[in-house]
Amino acid sequence: MAIPDNYDLFEAHQRQQERFLKRLPVCNRCGEKITSEYAYNVDGLYCESCFEDYRREIRIDMDFYEVEGI
C-alpha cells in the first residue's frame, strides 16, 4: 500500500469536483452549469445573470397603462 502524495490527493480532489459539477443544474438561457448559490425557476431554471437579463426583457412600464377611476 502506497502513501498518497500531493499529486494523488490533487487527482482525488479533481475527480470529486467533476462528480459534483455533473450534478449541477443547467441554465435554460446560457446552457452553463449554475454554480452560484441561487437559481431562479421561471419557466425553467436561470442563473443569476441570465435572470437579470430576462427580467429586463419582460419588465413592463406601468406608465403606459391607464388606470380607470384615478
| Set of cell numbers at residue 3 | 502513501
> What sign for the dihedral angle of Cα 35, 39, 45, 47?
negative
Instruction: Tell me if 40 is assigned to some domain.
Output: yes
At 70, the pLDDT band (50, 70, 90 cuts) reads: low
Residues of the domain holding 41:
26-59
Q: What is the pLDDT of residue 67?
A: 67
Instruction: Tell me if 1 is assigned to some domain.
Output: no
Instruction: Tell me if 55 is assigned to some domain.
Output: yes
Instruction: Tell me if 9 is assigned to some domain.
Output: no
What global pTM score does this model have? 0.65
* pLDDT exceeds cutoff 70 at 48: yes
Q: What is the pLDDT of residue 69?
A: 59
Instruction: Tell me if 46 is assigned to some domain.
Output: yes
Domain count, the chain: 1
Instruction: Tell me if 19 is assigned to some domain.
Output: no
Instruction: Tell me if 34 is assigned to some domain.
Output: yes
Instruction: Tell me if 16 is assigned to some domain.
Output: no
Yes or no: say if 53 and 36 are a contact pair by the CB < 8 Å rule.
no
Count of alpha carbons within 13 Å of 43, Cβ hemisphere only?
Answer: 6
Yes or no: say if 51 and 42 are a contact pair by the CB < 8 Å rule.
yes
